[in-house]
Amino acid sequence: MSRTLTIPRPDDWHLHLRDGAVLRAVLPETARHFGRAIIMPNLVPPVVTGADAAAYRDRIMNALPAGMDFTPLMTLYLTEETDPEDVAAAHASGLVTSVKLYPAGATTNSASGVRDFDRVRPVLEKMAEIGMPLCVHGEVTDADIDIFDREAVFIDRVLDPLRRATPGLRIVMEHITTQQGVDYVKSNAENLGATITTHHLVINRNHILVGGIKPHYYCLPVAKREEHRLALRAAATSGDTRFFLGTDSAPHTDPNKESACGCAGCFTATNTLSILAEVFEQEGALDRLAGFTSEHGPAFYGLPVSTDTITLTKGDPAAYPPKIDTGDGPVTLFDAQMPLHWRVI
């Protein structure tokens, strides 16, 4: 029996579009379903200034196929040299939506990130003053901290002190992967939200490591134990407005993933909505899908919910291609390892 579900057009509050040939290949995969996306600035070199963001936005709009409607919400990569006035001007002009904090070395292309948090204090204070959100990659990078503990330790050692030192700063904990991340958001009502990815609702660390190493499931923050995946599913499907979708769709070509030192990232732009509908249905929460994909994010960012809609139908399992082609090589689509009965029509 077929069923339909119509929801406001979704937004992606955390997305990697890259540049050049990969940008041209992956942008339509997002723009087909999503109206807006927060565009991550971790290019090489990173998007650091307002001028960098303006140039990158132009490249994105030039790569958008004719007839597609999509608004990139630009971000700036916070460095110890970032100028508070440049950030404020880029925000005031409407060019830039938020600033991204990467602890140096935490993830792909994060070498220019922050080592000494005191050096970015003037930027953070300016952002609190003008109401500009900070998106945070929440992992410590200390060599002595186990990779599976890096998010929980970041909350205690970095995030909580930073929030106390900068009252009024609005923060998005990006791509939370742990029960501790969920609990921290829930216990702090003020100025705090969190994105959750599609893939972290589906995989735990066994998917990466059992029965041979699976490079296409390797991403950062790395997937944790099953109990954490269940906590993320409960948060995402709870209707709590502080949790919203940020796919963190992060394309790398197959040779870069299937390598002795494979890149981190799961590419989910193409099939995210099919997967999420399946997950929300499994949790008996299809009526809450719209909140997670289309309503909670705009509310946090102070933007209107889309007046456009998309419709999903339930039928025979959707067949997605295993890879998409780019001018730089194939990019493998995230495999949710379950039949996907819902598709956007």
Q: Which residues are catalytic?
A: 248
Within residues 203-232, the interface with Zn ion by CB under 5 A covers none
**Under 8 Å CB-to-CB from 219, ≥6 apart: which residues?**
197, 199, 248, 250, 264, 265, 266
Per the listing, tokens 């890149």 go with 263
- Report if residue 18 touches Zn ion, rule: CB under 5 A: no
Amino acid letter at 216? H
- Of the residues 38, 88, 219, 344, which one makes contact with ligand OTD according to CB under 6 A: 219
CB of 263 to ligand OTD, least distance (A): 6
Single-letter amino acid, residue 255: P
| Shortest Å distance, C-beta 250 to ligand OTD | 4
Interface residue with ligand OTD, options 24, 57, 91, 137 (CB under 6 A): 137
Nearest to 91 by CA among 186, 170, 201, 178: 170
Distance CA 273, CA 340 (A): 10
248 binds Zn ion, rule: CB under 5 A:
yes
209 binds ligand OTD (CB under 6 A): no
* Cα-based torsion angle of the residue sequence 203, 209, 210, 213 in order, rounded to the nearest 10 degrees: 110
- Among the listed ranges 87-95, 198-206, 263-271, 272-280, the one in contact with ligand OTD (CB under 6 A) is 263-271
Using the rule CB under 6 A, give the single segment among 82-90, 120-128, 260-268, 276-284 that binds ligand OTD.
260-268
Residues in 75-114 at the binding interface with Zn ion, rule: CB under 5 A: 107
Q: Is 137 in the site for Zn ion (CB under 5 A)?
A: yes
96-101 sheet: strands from edge to edge: 11-15, 36-39, 71-77, 96-101, 134-136, 171-173, 192-196, 243-245
**Site residues for ligand OTD per CB under 6 A:** 16, 42, 107-108, 137, 175, 219-220, 248, 250, 263-265
